[in-house]
A and B are shown apart, each in its own frame.
Chain A
Amino acid sequence: MRILLVEDDPEQLEPLQIALSRSGHIVDGVADGATARWLMGEKNYDLLILDWMLPEESGVDLCQSLRAAGVATPTLLLTAKDTIADKVTGLDAGADDYLVKPVDLTELLARVRALRRRSPLWTGDRLKLADLCLQLDTMRVEWKEISFKLSSKDFQLLEYMMRHPRKILTHDQIEQALWEWGSEPESNAVAARVRRLRQRLREIGVEDWIKSIYGVGYCFEPPKSP
């Protein structure tokens, strides 16, 4: 899931970003509303996590104007404001959920999972292709009798590929989808990640699902049964 996290305090932004990434999400962290607004136009996000007190434009104002512009992305307000009146204001501005800082990370992750389930694009907590099954909540991959937990990086790549099966995915597309905003992938980074995932899958006996299309990219396809 691609998440846009808007938080002006880097001390708070960084651990949140790490925690969310570790759970298999791709998190773009920005410090102000203007950048967030611009990024919203550039990419499709599955979830928006907003701080209330931001420089210049507050998180609530941002949420309100996005809703007014017809943006339906699920939004979670994460703020130090704790009165009932604040909560009402925040939720009425269009937020789908409201959490008061300091928030317990396990609760935050649970809320994020809950919001994903409420998304109109939600297709269940697992992806299945032939006999290969990917649990989105637990980042586990299941193949026949074997169950295996993936690292967040491998999980992100596999999720992306399983969502676009039998399609040619270019290097650029994979970079765009999996790399966080502001991070520069090295020239062979995509190839390295694909190689690692192939290695992981081979360990449980899933072989030759990721095909290389020379000079273009990759294609995820279950091998035709002999």
Chain B
Amino acid sequence: MPNWIRLKQWKALPVRLRGGIIIAIPVICLFTSLSAFAWLKASLEEDETVVQHTKLVKIETKRLLTALVDTETGVRGYGLTHREEFLAPYNHSREVIPVSLKELESLVQDYPKQKQRLEEIRTKVDRHLEILQQKLTLQQELKRTRGQEELMVNTALLYDWLEEGKEKMNATRVAIDRFAQEEERLLEVRKQHQVFYRQITWIVLCLSAMIGSLGALLAILLFLQLERELRERETRLQNTNLELELACAQLDRFTANASHELRAPLAAVLSNAQVGLMELEDLTADTTFLHQRLEKIVHLTKGMSTLVGDLLFLARHESLLSLNSLELVNLIDLLGTLTSDWKSKARSQHLTLSAYLPDKLVMVKADANLLRQAVDNLLSNACRYTPAGGLIFLRLNSDNDKVSIEVKDTGIGISPQSLPHIFERFYRVNQTRTKAKGSFGLGLNIAQQIVQAHGGQITVTSKVGQGSTFRVVLPLGDETNED
């Protein structure tokens, strides 16, 4: 690939524009050649017409000349012989001449100079014919007044007349010749013009063929270059994809390893503590104290296990969910199951959970397990921070394009200073309070991450002492938009 094609400006152009240019080059070449060719062809046609026209003028001029000569000869013959048959060509020519002149006039209408010349010729011809007519009339007068014997006219006088006619005739002929020459010259000019244009046609054809070929070649080069660039881009994209997949696989491996490494000791601690509890049952002595210690270990280990699970969950679902893992989920079913799960748990803490779900079907595009986890976390928080006797409401509302899931409690509420931070990881509103309730401050962060991964939003409003309301807004899954 020559370097001149690797122009930076060219590369900077968008692919669509470059493709357009590549297609435009041969198309422009083709149209230029076609229009040049058409123009030349039209010009040649015009020349041809003019040449034909000049030829017609020449023929007509010749006819005029012949007719004139005929009149002359006719009159001369009649003058010498007085025979009527010599007048026949004369009479015929007298008819032909005006027709011929008229024809010529119409032919040279576009050429003022020739028209002027034709006018001269006409005057001369008229004059010539007039003289001939005079001669003829005179001779016929003589013949009638003098009778048959004295038919003979003075020969000398007659000769003079004839000579005069001859001069006039010559002048007319010269004029006609000049006219004819002019036409000849015009014809010559036209022919030269025609030849010149023929040559130009060839040159233009050759040039356009050359430019067209060059244009096509350039287009091919540009196209190849574009193709190579697109291929490079594709390779780059594939590489990036590969790297991303690798990173994903790495993350998967990491979470799997972390999961194993963190859970193995927890599992050992938990089972050892529980085996210890079993062994205590066999002892007859008072083991309440030991029992309490071991129970504490079991409890803490379970808490650690939950924390590990939450952290691994967060690590796994850091990014947006891939769309193909989402499916249409019936929110009524999902929330209905959750409600029945949580009703008994709430009751055991002396709380009342009421759910308000619409009668119609509400479908969202979601990962059902994740969404359940998010709402589960909100309900768990509501139960944790609501004193006995309190109320918890789960409400589902659906609009045209979105649904909102609302978890409301009549609990202790969140102070305005803490409100902006509650979705942060490990954030605890109040150290002592949260410790007593046994939470790690990850539940809301997980809920937020799940909701955001679904393209939704989670918001909170709260008043200290009156309760909190968490609202999850999700885009509505539309069946018609599927695929």
Contact = CB atoms under 8 A, between A and B. Distances in A.
A83 B316 contact: yes
A72 interface: no
B260 A15 contact: no
A53 interface: yes
B265 A11 contact: yes
Given A83-B316, A101-B264, A15 B271 contact: yes
A102 B273 CA distance: 12
Contact of B278 (A12, A22, A102, A104): A22
A84 interface: yes
A92 interface: no
A12 B268 CA distance: 5
A16 B267 CA distance: 10
Contacts of A187: none
A103 B268 CA distance: 10
**Interface residues on chain B, size class:** 20 to 34
Nearest to B259: A80
Q: In this complex, which of B264, B271, B301, B316 has the most chain A Cβ atoms within 10 angstroms of its Cβ?
A: B271
Interface string B247-278: 00000000010011011111111111011001
A102 B301 contact: yes
B305 interface: yes
B271 A16 contact: yes
A198 interface: no
Contacts of A174: none
Interface string A80-94: 111110000000000
Contacts of A66: none
Contacts of B263: 80, 100-102
Given A82-B312, A104-B302, A9 B278 contact: no
B145 interface: no
Interface magnitude class on chain A? 20 to 34
A102 B271 contact: yes
A18 interface: yes
B369 interface: yes
B389 interface: no
B273 to A, nearest CB: 9
A103 B274 CA distance: 10
Contacts of A15: 268, 271-272, 274-275
Contact of A80 (B264, B272, B278, B301): B264
Contacts of B266: 101-102
Interface of B: 256, 259-260, 262-272, 274-275, 278, 301-302, 305, 309, 312, 316, 369
25 contacts: A9-B264, A9-B268, A12-B264, A15-B271, A18-B275, A19-B274, A19-B275, A53-B260, A80-B259, A80-B262, A80-B264, A81-B256, A81-B259, A81-B260, A83-B316, A84-B369, A101-B266, A101-B267, A102-B266, A102-B302, A103-B271, A104-B274, A105-B270, A105-B274, A105-B275
